[in-house]
Amino acid sequence: MPEQTEPVLVVGAGVAGGIVAEVLCGRSDRCLQPVGFVDDDPSRQGTVIHGLPVLGTRYDIPALVEQYGIKEIIIAIPSAPGALVRQLVEICHRTGARLKILPGIYDLITGKIKVSAIREVQVEDLLGREPVSLNVEQIAGYLAGRQVLITGGGGSIGSELCRQIAGFKPGLVILIGHGENSIYDVEVSLREEFPRLPLVTGIADVKDRCLMRRLFLKYRPDVVFHTAAHKHVPLMERCPEEAVKNNIFGTRSVAEAACHAGTGTFILVSTDKAVNPVGVMGATKRVAEMVVLEMNRRGKTRFAAVRFGNVLGSRGSVVPFFKRQIAGGGPVTVTHRHMVRYFMTVTEAAQLVIQAGSMAGGGEIFILDMGCPVKIVDLARNLIRLSGFEPGSDIPIEFTGIRPGEKLAERLVAEGEGMAPTEHGRIFKVASPERDFVLLEIMLEAMESADFSFAEKEIKAWLQKVLPDYRPGEFFKDAVEDGVCL
């Protein structure tokens, strides 16, 4: 073994593990040299694969690291569930060896695995969600050659939607947003990644009804994905007027423009926080759902909404926040030890939203399969371990109490609603009772009148009239009672 070679242990003695070992052994620099495998399959114990022995199971990893001086451990199980990855992270963290992973499903038959594909373990790997299966023909049928407009284009979902849509050869993508810096950054990125994509970007406020109408009449979009929204829960509790104006009236403005321009399909990106809302943000998004469903009755445009939970790594979300706290030495702050949330990756969310759009007949609320909810404190512990520290001893975790507008757990279906399957196994439809659109119109007229003060009490009073299940502040009264440190 060359002097500069670092011993490597490969987790998984299957096809992927064998190819990883071959790739590493075939490198000219041989700086990483596999010494063997670990695998939990009893039939593989004591066997030799690609000239390397299977040395034990995952539980033998600490002893093997010490015995062979292992410097790096590579998880080579593309189908590994999140629970297994979490266990491996915990075991390997105690050894001091670097931990890497071969993510995703690669072309294992032809052996097209590059060393560059092996990377650090990320929090997405801990979820272990199944890859999304798309009906490509169905999607291409409504996107290929079409004019597609995306609002909120500078955000995580909006920009990822554009990346995903680019693969279906749209006739034109119109990307608009309110923040010039984010739109500029996304445009530069998209033009580098998709130089042949017909793309128009612009700075536009969805609340500007005249601008929206002119924009829609100019480009006549066939498909619209409306992702623009104020989404930060505590901030919207402090700024309810902006939540109402952007989430409700902004949605109506874009929906009316789409209807007037003869758009074929309009998809509102909604949230699980719209279900039995306790905060202004969730309540305004629930009203936004009602707005698009009411618009569906007016013309030929097919209006639908898609609900899902938190997107891992999106701007302002908990993962980047925790990473900054860990980089600063902690503490990592968690609102409540029992707080749970649904999570999915931005790629998965965008793909399922696009698929739902191909299924929209008009008037639906679609729900994405979010898997099992994740405890936020477990997410914090895992991120600390992935950063090379031990929760509690190296990086403390502090509980700060539930913030205004938050709940301990979110739901995807409201009281009185049910779930019905669709032809796609990861997408469901909400079976819901009739909504009071008359009262919705009365509220919108009241809020648009010159006499409306936009005072917090007045806003919440109207939201409660339209949304009987909106219970502002219900979960906040005990917010600070659990402020205990680990």
Which residues are catalytically annotated? 273
Do the beta carbons of residue 158 and residue 225 sit within 8 Å? yes
Distance CA 189, CA 296 (A): 35
Question: Which pair of structure tokens corresponds to residue 451?
Answer: 């006499």
Nearest Cα neighbor of 177 from 208, 147, 146 is 208
Measured over the CA atoms of residue 225, residue 368, residue 425 and residue 375, the dihedral's sign is positive
Three state DSSP letters for the chain: CCCCCEEEEEECCCHHHHHHHHHHHCCCCCCEEEEEEECCCHHHCCCEECCEEEEECHHHHHHHHHHHCCCEEEECCCCCCHHHHHHHHHHHHCCCCEEEECCCCCECCCCECCHHHCEECCHHHHHCCCCCCCCHHHHHHHHCCCEEEEECCCCHHHHHHHHHHHCCCCCEEEEEECCHHHHHHHHHHHHHHCCCCCEEEEECCCCCHHHHHHHHHHHCCCEEEECCCCCCHHHHHHCHHHHHHHHHHHHHHHHHHHHHHCCCEEEEEEEHHHCCCCCHHHHHHHHHHHHHHHHCCCCCCEEEEEEECEECCCCCCHHHHHHHHHHCCCCEEECCCCCEECEECHHHHHHHHHHHHHHCCCCCEEEECCCCCEEHHHHHHHHHHHCCCCECCCECEEECCCCCCCCCCCCCCCCCCEEEECCCCCEEEEECCCCCHHHHHHHHHHHHCCCCCCCHHHHHHHHHHHCCCCCCCCCCCCCCCCCCEC
* Triad 214, 219, 225: Cα angle to 5°: 95
Say if CB 86 and CB 43 are below 8 A apart. Answer: no
- Do the strands 98-101 and 119-120 form a parallel or antiparallel pair, or are they unpaired? antiparallel
At residue 207, what is the residue type?
K
Is residue 14 within 8 A of residue 44, CB to CB? The reply is: no
